[in-house]
């Protein structure tokens, strides 16, 4: 998969490109908005919206007009969620988290939005159909429960922070909503039938694993 990394700071771009290549991605780097628009076609654009030569929203619009590539915006705050990108990540983030987000976006956007169901043990999550099957039985979830499960199943075994869940499922960074997460996770555990599916990592967040 080809990634166009649009980042003007060498200290950020170079180690990020190295890490993504280690994950198996082909990475081309553009140091400005103008260079990005002249770059070869990519499958996904990883776009820093703090570029010196172009506004982030304008850059997203220009990319949409030029390419069918998926776009993930990189920013320091969640206000970039409405720029029209396919997803966004907030600094600081880990390479593992970013890689999971890249693969999730590509699953959603590849082939006109079709995606393969995600499987962990006997759990099958079809993000496109919003359908969950466990050991052959369909599990009925509320929209928020489904979104939480999707966020966890995209990278099983990895810890997903409460902040990340707030950003991804509730589109907020207000930590006062954290108890809402606990209520929904508790309901999700009950519906999955075994609390071992979702492990609480004290002081951090949650991770999904097959019990």
- 130-187, pLDDT tens digit by residue? 789 999 999 999 888 988 999 899 888 888 888 888 877 776 655 555 678 889 999 9
Please say whether the beta carbons of 70 and 97 come within 8 A: no
Residues 58-81: b if buried by 16+ CB within 10 A, e if exposed? ebbebbeeebebbbbbbbeebebb
The DSSP bridge partners found for residue 98 are none
Burial 15-43 (b: 16+ CB within 10 A, else e): ebbebbeeeebebebbbbbebbbebeebb
The single-letter DSSP state of residue 32 is S
CA 126, 20, 33, 54: dihedral to nearest 10 degrees?
70
Q: Report d(CA 177, CA 69) in Å as an integer.
A: 34
Residue 117, classed as helix, strand or coil, is coil
Over residues 70-120, the pLDDT tens digits come to 999 988 776 655 577 878 888 888 888 788 778 878 866 654 444 578 889
3-state secondary structure (DSSP) of residue 79: helix
Mention every residue, 6+ apart, whose C-beta is less than 8 A from residue 48: 6, 7, 8, 9, 12, 74, 75
- d(C-alpha 36, C-alpha 13), whole Å: 14
With a pLDDT cut of 70, the percent of the chain lying above it is 89
Q: What is the pLDDT of residue 33?
A: 92
In the chain, what are the domains? Answer: 2-111 (3.40.50.2300), 116-208 (1.10.10.10)
pTM of the model as a whole = 0.56
Q: How far, CA to CA in Å, does 140 sit from each of 145, 155, 192?
A: 9, 22, 10
Is the CB of residue 19 less than 8 Å from the CB of residue 95?
yes
The more confident residue out of 8 and 76 is 8
- Mind listing the pLDDT tens digit for each residue in 90-99? 888 888 878 8
156 close to 121: Cβ distance less than 8 angstroms: no
At 204, list the tokens.
Answer: 């951090």
Per-residue confidence (pLDDT) for residue 168, from 0 to 100: 73
Q: What is the pLDDT of residues 15-45, one digit of tens each?
A: 999 999 998 899 999 999 999 999 999 999 9
């Amino acid at each position: 998969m080809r990634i166009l990394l649009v980042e003007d700071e060498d200290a950020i771009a170079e180690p990020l490109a190295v890490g993504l290549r280690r994950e198996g991605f082909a990475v081309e780097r553009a140091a400005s908005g103008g260079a990005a628009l002249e770059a070869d076609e990519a499958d996904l654009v990883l776009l820093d919206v703090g570029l010196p030569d172009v506004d982030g929203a304008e850059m997203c619009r220009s990319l949409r007009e030029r390419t069918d590539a998926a776009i993930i915006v990189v920013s320091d705050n969640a206000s970039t969620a409405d720029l029209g990108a396919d997803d966004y990540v907030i600094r600081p983030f880990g390479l593992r988290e970013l890689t999971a987000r890249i693969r999730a976006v590509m699953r959603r956007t590849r082939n006109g939005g079709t995606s393969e169901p995600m499987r962990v043990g006997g759990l099958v999550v079809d993000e496109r159909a919003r359908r969950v099957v466990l050991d052959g039985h369909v599990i009925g979830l509320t929209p928020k429960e489904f979104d939480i499960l999707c966020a966890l199943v995209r990278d099983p075994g990895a810890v997903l922070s409460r902040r990340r869940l707030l950003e991804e499922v509730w589109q907020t960074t207000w930590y006062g909503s954290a108890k809402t997460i606990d209520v929904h996770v508790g309901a999700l555990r009950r519906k999955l039938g075994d609390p071992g599916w979702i492990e609480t990592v004290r002081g951090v967040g949650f991770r999904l694993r097959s019990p």
